[in-house]
Structure formats: C-alpha cells, structure tokens
Structure 1
Amino acid sequence: MRTPVGIAVAVLMALGAVQAFAPRATPPLAATRLAVDRMQLNTLVASKAGLVTGGELGSLLYSTDQGKDWSRAKVSNDRQALINQISFAPDGLNGMAVGHEGWILRTSDGGLTWKEVAFEEKNGEPLMSVARLPSGAWIAVGAFGKAVRSDDEGEHWAPLALPASVEDKHLNRIVSSADGQRWLITGERGLVLHSGDAGQSWSVIDPFYNGSLYNALALPNGGWLAYGMRGNIFYTEGDQGPWSRSDMPVQASFYGHAVTPDGKIILVGQGSVMATSSDGGRHFTLSRAKGRTSLTDLLLLPGGQGWLASDAGLQAFSPATAPTPTPTPAPQAGATPSSGVAQ
C-alpha cells in the first residue's frame, strides 16, 4: 500500500513542479504616465520630431502628439543635473541642451536621443543658454562669466572670447534677430553684450539698468526688448539704444516669452503672471495662469494654442481661455529663475 501512495505523491509533486515552471503569458503592465504637470521644467521648444522639454534631475522629454503624451528621451549619461535650455538648429533635428555642472548634450534626431558632449563633475558652473550661430558654430553661456564655443557640432568646446568687463557676471540668455545677424547676451548687474556680425565678435552696451536681465527678444522694427527682475522691462527702437523703460504694472520677474502671429508679445514669469503688449513692448497688461508658480517658458502652436512650462510642470495655454486681465500685483520679491543660480 505504501508503494502506490508514495508513487502517487511523487507524481503529484512532479506535476506541481512542471506547472510552477511552465511558461505563462505575462499580463501587460499599465502604461506609465509621466507627471509633466508636477515637474520642474525650464525650457520648452519645438523640433522636427515634436515638442521637447527639459528640467529637473536631467529630465529630457518629448511629445510627438502636440503635448498630449510625453516620453523620456534616451540619454547617454544620467547625471541628474538640472537642464536650463534646449535649442535647435534651423533643420529642427540637430540641437543642444545645457544645464548645471557644465553639462552639454547633443541630439541629431530632434530630441528623441541625446549624447553627452561635456560635463564637469568637479566645480562645474551652470550653463544657462545655448544657441547656434549662422556660421554653424554653437555657443553656450552661464554662471560667473562662463562662455564656450564649438565649431564641430558640439564634439569639442573651447572658451568663447568676450569683453574683459564681463568678469564673473552671470550670463543668462543668448538671443538673435530673425536674420541671425544681430545678437544679444543678457546677464546680471545690467550686463548686455551685442554682436552685429552674426556672433563672431561681442561688445558691451552701455548699462541702462543695474539689475539682472533674464531674457530678451528682437523686435520687428530692428530694436530689442530686454526683461528681468521685479518687472523691469526695457525696449529700444534701434539696434543698440537708446533704451526706455516699459510700462509694467507689476514687480514680478519674467523669464520667458512668445510672440503671437498678430505681433503681440507675451511675457511669463513669477507668480503665474503673464504680461501682454500690443505696441511693441511699450505697455503691458496682466493676466494670470493657474496656480502660483514661476512660469519659465511659453510655446505657441499653430492655431494659437500652446503650453506653459513652470517650476510646477506643464499646463495648456489658450488665448481664448486666458484669464481676464487683472491689476493685482504679484509678490514683489526679486526671485531668481528656477535654475537656482543667484542673480
């Protein structure tokens, strides 16, 4: 009797083992949604591949459906350093991203994959802005006067020659005119550098403001608009001056901008404030996006819709549903940009 029972038990155990190790179809995992509405994102641009954004912990993301869904780009090295700006060449495929620790990454497919081309593990300064010159060279600038240039699509970088008076001032943004012949670099303590030869040489514009200027844009009349701390906005009708103060009814810092098809200028900044000008930057009216965040960038899509980037994530933008203009001031603190670099 014992023998048949033992054999039966052995058979059952063998069948159990076969069942345990038999191949099974694994149920599909639920799709993982990136929390782009809760991430610190400093830059938002369009490329030939779609929309591309970057920010906290080295995040580089892309969307191929106008911002509905987002995916993480493939990055050669995970540095978890804050990304401050992404810029693309006119072809929409070749681009650079810059961030803290002197981090520079290159893409050749519109932002789907990125290759590290520079990183300073020890004592690396934050890079704040990057741009491609008409010559094909790339330049990048950042904290404490750091400025570099690459003439081989980012493979190698060397110091960029700037006037000695730049000293250790932070350099915040590189901007150009539509034709790429005139350029500005804005910085702290009222520093503005000008180039009239497509970025080959630079000179200092006589100071017209003593605070930090975070960004600028070229105006259709050949002038410029420069903006920064505590609602200090300045415009000029000529290439290098004279500069006049814009009428801005709020002391909020502004970090990014967009221009609508009909020529309206929209600035975005501290306290979810948006400021709009219909007269070339001379006067601004206010509205406010959702929340109380620092808006870092605005990207308009065809049709007028778009996306706002902020230190609290992305949110949709629509002129038709924009908040009603309000004179309520935002906080008057001179907050620094979300890059964390003191200005």
Structure 2
Amino acid sequence: MNITSLAQTSAGLVAAGELGNILVSKDAGGSWMPATLSNQRHALLTRLYFQNDDIGFAMGHEGWVLKTSDGGLSWDEVAFDHERNEPLLDIGRLPSGRLLAVGGYGKLLSSMDQGENWGLQPAPDGTDWHLNALIGSESKDSWLIAGEVGTVFRSQDQGESWEKIPEFYNGSFYGGLHLGGENWLLYGMRGNIFRTDDNGMSWQRLDFNIPVSLFTHEVLSDGQILLAGQGGMILSSTDNGYSFQLAYRGGRYSLTDLQFTEDGKLMAGSDQGIKTLSQFSKSAAIRLAEESKNKKNNS
C-alpha cells in the first residue's frame, strides 16, 4: 500500500494514503487498525495535518478533505469535488485562523470556520501549475508556496497576498522548510536542493549530486535536518541546511514521509507501505551523519 503521510497524535501513530485508507497504531507501529470514515471515496490521500493532538485534517485527490477531533480514530468528510479530479497536496493554518490548502493546477481552497466548510480561492498570479508545498516561517508572518517548473510564491503579510519569485530552477519542488530568520530551504526533483539567506530574493543550489528526487523532511530536536526520497535515501544536514550528506540508503522504494514515534523510533511512509527504520533512531541519526561527514572529509 502506498502510504503518503504520517502523524503522531493523541490516538497514536496515524497513516494515510492509497484508496483513501487511514490507519491508526496505538503501539508505535507494532499493529494497525483502520480509522472510521463518514464517507469512503477510495481516492488517494496525500497529506495529514494536525493543528494539535486531537484536531486534524486529511486531504487528497478530487478535492477531498476529512476532519477529525479525536486524534484520527474517526473522520468526517467536509469537502469533496464531484466534478474535478484536482488533488489537494498541502495545508497550513494562517495567523488569521484561516486554513489554506494548495493543490494541482493552481488549486487553492480555504476555510474560515475551523475546516467545516471550504471555498475556492483565486490561484496566485493565475498559475495552473501544481502547487506542491505550503511552507510557513516560525512566526507564520512569511510563507512560501512551491510547485512545478520552479514555481515559487512568497507572502510577507501572513499569507493574505502572494508575489511570484522569478524562476531560478525549471524542475519541480516537492517541499521545503524555514530555517530561521531569512533562511529557507527548498528541495525537489533529481536531488536539487536550494537555499536562500535573504528571504527568497536570491537562491543558491547546494553542491549535492545524487540525482534522487526528495519528497519529505524531518527536523530533530538538536536542529539536524533530514531529507528523504527515492531509493529509500535519507540525507542529513548538521549545519542548518548549508550542506547534506547521505546518512541512510534503503532499497527500491520511495520514502514519502518521516515521523518519529514517542520512543524515538523513525517510521517512514513509502510506496511499499510503512517501514520501521530501527537503525535510524534520533541518536543514530546524529552518529550516522557524523560518520558520513568524516568519511567525506577524509576522502
């Protein structure tokens, strides 16, 4: 089963993906049970988002949005597009309280009533490219939207308006994160990783030459950044995203999401189901990154 998204909640570990399946584990991935859905559309779910331990959303193809108030044990359908098959791909909560979801073909949905009702919003700059990631700063004052063919939009007014950043890369971005201050990181196709230290005015490609697409990230409590994607590969940065080293190589599968359990075990969603990366605990992540860095420096 293709598992696209994982989340740790009050109910345990929650996973979502293929054919509208949502699963819950109360024992850190040891066993799983299906969640209860008010409507099962059998559409691919692409993203889980929890604003606290109990309240969260699952979204996917055909504009499908589900809401939970019990940590993911049960879900109510709050949106579904009967006419179009446009996928929703990411979601965030703006300082105004408005929920904003981005997706395929420039699709934007928003909700002002805690996700009970959703309405279409105009695409920024009229774009019809896929919008893959919605990324907020720590303060939530600045935001980025990243997508196909190097599409990047920036908001400096808490997500209320968007300006297009001139293209600096012609491939797709699949995700990104704020690194503090005016520093941001974007990642995507064929191992392309870009960093800015001036709030997106200029971008520098990192010198990383393993051509695997990168789909997800995780940040450890010590600030270490993990990126993951094709080939079951996990990259690690211990210098706030200025450089990355290969820290883990899996197999012939793609990692789609990373989530640490409460006991420090790294779980991964993939196109071959849910994987437990027992050799890659939080402490092992630091050790592997240092070993890889030393090996590179000594070569």
In the superposition, the TM-score normalised over structure 1's length comes to: 0.79
* 1:131 is the counterpart of 2:92: yes
Q: Does 1:249 align with 2:209?
A: yes
Task: Please tell me the residue identity of whatever aligns with 2:86.
Answer: E
CA distance in 2, matches of 1:92, 1:208: 38
What amino acid is aligned across from residue 283 of structure 1 in structure 2?
S
% identical aligned pairs: 44
* Corresponding position: 1:214 with 2:174: yes
Give the match for residue 107 of structure 1: 68
Aligned length: 286
Task: Answer yes or no: is the 8 Å Cα contact 1:247–1:282 preserved in 2.
Answer: no
2 CA distance for matches of 1:195 and 1:298?
27
Counterpart Cα distance in 2 of 1:186 and 1:92 = 27
Letter in 2 for 1:132: R
Contact 1:98 1:128 in 2 (8 A): yes
Question: Which residue type is aligned with residue 97 of structure 2?
Answer: G
Looking at secondary structure, tell me which structure has more strand per residue: 2
Higher alpha-carbon Rg: 1
Q: What corresponds to 1:65 in structure 2?
A: 27
Shift of 1:312: 0.6
Mapped contact 1:87–1:97 kept (Cα < 8 A): yes
| Amino acid in the other structure paired with 2:135 | V
Match for 1:67: what amino acid?
G
**Deviation at residue 140 of structure 1 after TM alignment:** 1.0
The 10-residue stretch of structure 1 (50-59 or 194-203) with the greater mean CA deviation from structure 2: 194-203
Q: Does 1:79 align with 2:12?
A: no
Structure 1 equivalent of residue 223 of structure 2: 263
Unaligned runs of 5+ in 1: 1-38, 327-343
Cα distance change on mapping 1:316 and 1:289 into 2, 3 Å: farther
Asked if structure 1 preserves the Cα contact closer than 8 Å seen for 2:226 and 2:234, the reply is yes
2:269 alignment counterpart: 309
Is this contact kept in 2: 1:45–1:87, CA < 8 A? Answer: yes
Residue in 1 aligned with 2:153? 193
Counterpart residue number, 1:118? 79
1:290 aligns with 2:290: no
Contact between 2:56 and 2:71, CA under 8 Å: does it hold in 1?
yes
**Partner AA of 1:276 in structure 2:** S
**C-alpha deviation, 1:279, in angstroms:** 1.4
Question: In the alignment, what sits opposite 1:148?
Answer: 109
Cα distance in 2, alignment partners of residues 99 and 194 from structure 1 = 24
Code of the aligned partner of 1:196: Q
- Paired residue type of 2:3: L
Provide the rounded CA distance (Å) in 2 between the counterparts of 1:249 and 1:177: 28
Tell me the CA shift for residue 49 of structure 1.
2.4
Q: Which residue of 1 aligns with 2:142?
A: 182
Q: Which residue of structure 2 aligns with residue 204 of structure 1?
A: 164
Give the alignment partner of residue 272 of structure 1, picking from 217, 232, 248.
Answer: 232
Q: CA RMSD in A?
A: 1.9
How far is 1:191 from its partner? 0.7
CA apart distance, 1:314 = 1.4
1:302 to partner: Cα distance:
4.7
Deviation at 1:134, TM superposition (A): 2.3
For the 8 Å contact 1:260–1:304, the answer to whether it is kept is: no
